[in-house]
Structure 1
Amino acid sequence: MNTAGNSGGGAGRAPLHDLLDLLDLERVDRDIFRGESRSAVVPRVFGGQVAAQALVAASRTAPEDRLAHSLHAYFLRPGDPAAPIVYTVDRIRDGRSFTTRRVVAVQHGRPIFHLSASFQTDEEGLEHQEPMPDVPDPETLTPSAELLPRHAHLFSDPGVADRLAEARAPVDLRYVDDPPYLTAGRPREPRSRIWFRVNGKLDGDLDRPTLHQCLAAYVSDMSLLEPVLLAHGRGGWTVGDVVGASLDHAMWFHRPFRVDDWLLYDQESPTSQSGRGLGRGRIFTADGRLAITVMQEGVVRVPRG
């Protein structure tokens, strides 16, 4: 994955290139890859990074004419941001229409994550979808990178707001409704809608459907459990009134999309219990096509004391 192409100008250029470099895995052997890792806001590797890198590894062993149509993954251990991650790919099946790959991510000799992905050749079939929600235009909304510093005083550590803004710099996120840290103490409908796109243009060698899928996997883990917090009026892990971590993650890719165009991430939580919460998301293109469905369960606990 060559990141030398143009990714746009302005302040977002460097952060997007950093993210693209993060996804540019080193090929150690035919089916073994090595990726760098780094922390996001908490002192562990961001789950979306591991999912995206694992999908990169799987995609590099799949036929070029087949795109991922689904992935299913488990987060097994926290990742160490100070150490590289080794991804080993198992070529489970190559059929006439479908290809299956299994990826294990390893640090310090132990698996921290595993993913199964299925790829398919493009074909025609029956077509229907749910309608896209009616939401404001993204250009009328405030970018999260501007919103976070304004409300740093709400965080358990004011520096967290700056670190969160920096971690999200490659992506322009715009909340349709207030994020959890602005509504702490006021339970509301467990639903969050966010417009997003990467901060730059993917063209030339970078304009490949596989890269768009891997970047979508990266973004998909940023906010999917937030509806759980909204249902209980919790501000979140950054505010300090809950602790949480992703347990598993699944994505289904339905229709073509571009992550450098606006996408709507419509998220909700149907249930939470037993220290776990479930998030369900639908990602729509700006013209209303349902592009991706996402599901995730995570640990969501109230701190003791």
Structure 2
Amino acid sequence: MSEPDIRATDPVDLMLRVLDLTGGAARTTEDIFTGDSHPMPGGRVFGGQVLAQAVIAAERTTDDDRVPHSMHGYFLRPGDASRGLTFSVDRIHDGRSFSTRRTQAYQDGVPIFSMIASFERETPGLDHQATMPADVPDPDELAAAADAQAIHPLSQRLLADSPIEVLHAEGALYRAAAEPAVARQNVWVRTRRRIGDDPALHRAVLAYLSDLTIQESVLRAHGVAWADAGLKVASLDHAMWWHRPARADEWLLYSQESPSASGGRGLSTGRIFTRDGELVATVAQEIMVRTGAR
């Protein structure tokens, strides 16, 4: 599979092309899809890309009235961003209300990511949610900050921009650690332009951007910045629960915290809210983290 041509497209166009998988036309016990990768300066596939592609592949094998409500995935090996990916979907179960799918992402016949996702035919029921954090600066107030247009290290492309706008309420960790050292942060995120009205695409892009900044509450707790010499970070696993519909091209508050770090691993959790305070998703991720002098 050829590498996407990035010379005549904007970053959002490239993201949408990468998420537009091919294949999977026949309804069988195993469905095969293929997709491209973002070019990455470090050469490794961006984890959020694989998450979103795996969700799209799985959802294309379910009935139209079923939407994803949870996924649990493991990053098995670093992927090569110069090569495409193959996604194999197993139709594990289709019940009256729920469907379960297993998606494996491969390069050169070797699995690099494994996910199980559950889909539901939504019905009315109990409804409550956590409260959005108070006193977080509005994104319009943060847009003029010096780091507002900086490209996050984990999503940096061979492009002028990232497809996702990222605004840190407590200051970014790109160049220097923030003070005080606390195990939480709030980040506003959205795509840089409108991406249409397909709810399935917005759910996938929500998974895509859920892998951005989620690691930072671990770093922030210990006064670590991305630019620190000797820092090594790798995502080990990722879980996500979709609660309510949301548009990924409108501002979303990603409220994150780290309950624990030990044994060279750190756990982060996040809640994603609309600007109006509706909780739309919950995320959890464990990372491997190594520091130079620490």
Q: TM-score scaled to structure 1, two decimals?
A: 0.85
Alignment correspondent of 1:228: 218
* Aligned mates of 1:90, 1:65 — CA distance in 2: 19
* Aligned mates of 1:213, 1:144 — CA distance in 2: 29
For structure 2, the 5+ residue unaligned runs are: 1-8
The alignment's C-alpha RMSD in Å is 2.5
Alignment correspondent of 2:209: 219
* Aligned mates of 2:259, 2:96 — CA distance in 1: 37
Provide closer, same or farther for how the CA distance between residues 78 and 161 of structure 1 changes in structure 2, counting only shifts above 3 A: closer
Provide closer, same or farther for how the CA distance between residues 266 and 116 of structure 1 changes in structure 2, counting only shifts above 3 A: same
1:173 aligns with 2:166: yes
1:191 maps to which of 169, 184, 187? 184
Do 2:156 and 2:162's aligned partners in 1 also have CA atoms closer than 8 Å? no
Provide closer, same or farther for how the CA distance between residues 126 and 228 of structure 1 changes in structure 2, counting only shifts above 3 A: same
1:244 aligns with 2:240: no
Percent identity reads 46
* Aligned mates of 1:161, 1:98 — CA distance in 2: 34
**Alpha-carbon deviation of 1:240?**
3.2
Q: TM-score scaled to structure 2, two decimals?
A: 0.88
**Alpha-carbon deviation of 1:161?**
11
* Aligned mates of 1:78, 1:161 — CA distance in 2: 13
1:268 aligns with 2:257: yes
Do 1:40 and 1:167's aligned partners in 2 also have CA atoms closer than 8 Å? no
**What does 1:110-189 correspond to in 2, within 5 Å?**
110-134=110-134, 135-142=136-143, 147=148, 163=156, 166=159, 169-184=162-177, 186=179, 188-189=181-182
* Aligned mates of 2:211, 2:270 — CA distance in 1: 10
1:40 aligns with 2:8: no
CA deviations over 1:58-101 (Å, ceiling 9, x no partner): 01101111110000000000001121110000000111100110
* Aligned mates of 2:154, 2:124 — CA distance in 1: 46
Alignment correspondent of 2:4: none
CA deviations over 1:101-133 (Å, ceiling 9, x no partner): 000111112100011110001211111111101
Do 1:234 and 1:241's aligned partners in 2 also have CA atoms closer than 8 Å? no
Provide closer, same or farther for how the CA distance between residues 27 and 167 of structure 1 changes in structure 2, counting only shifts above 3 A: farther
**Alpha-carbon deviation of 1:175?**
1.0
Do 1:186 and 1:232's aligned partners in 2 also have CA atoms closer than 8 Å? no
For structure 1, the 5+ residue unaligned runs are: 1-12
**Alpha-carbon deviation of 1:29?**
5.7
Do 2:12 and 2:163's aligned partners in 1 also have CA atoms closer than 8 Å? yes
Alignment correspondent of 2:198: 208
* Aligned mates of 2:141, 2:178 — CA distance in 1: 27
* Aligned mates of 2:147, 2:192 — CA distance in 1: 14
* Aligned mates of 1:162, 1:197 — CA distance in 2: 14
Provide closer, same or farther for how the CA distance between residues 291 and 37 of structure 1 changes in structure 2, counting only shifts above 3 A: same
* Aligned mates of 2:178, 2:187 — CA distance in 1: 21
* Aligned mates of 1:161, 1:266 — CA distance in 2: 18
Per the alignment, in what secondary structure is the counterpart of residue 128 of structure 1? coil
**Alpha-carbon deviation of 1:170?**
1.0
**Alpha-carbon deviation of 1:142?**
2.6
| Greater helix content | 1
* Aligned mates of 1:172, 1:291 — CA distance in 2: 18
Alignment correspondent of 1:302: 291
Q: Match for 1:201: what amino acid? A: R
* Aligned mates of 1:277, 1:103 — CA distance in 2: 25
* Aligned mates of 1:162, 1:217 — CA distance in 2: 14
* Aligned mates of 1:128, 1:168 — CA distance in 2: 37
**Alpha-carbon deviation of 1:247?**
0.3
1:21 maps to which of 14, 17, 31? 17
**Mean alpha-carbon deviation: is it higher for 176-185 or for 15-24?**
176-185
Q: Match for 1:93: what amino acid? A: H
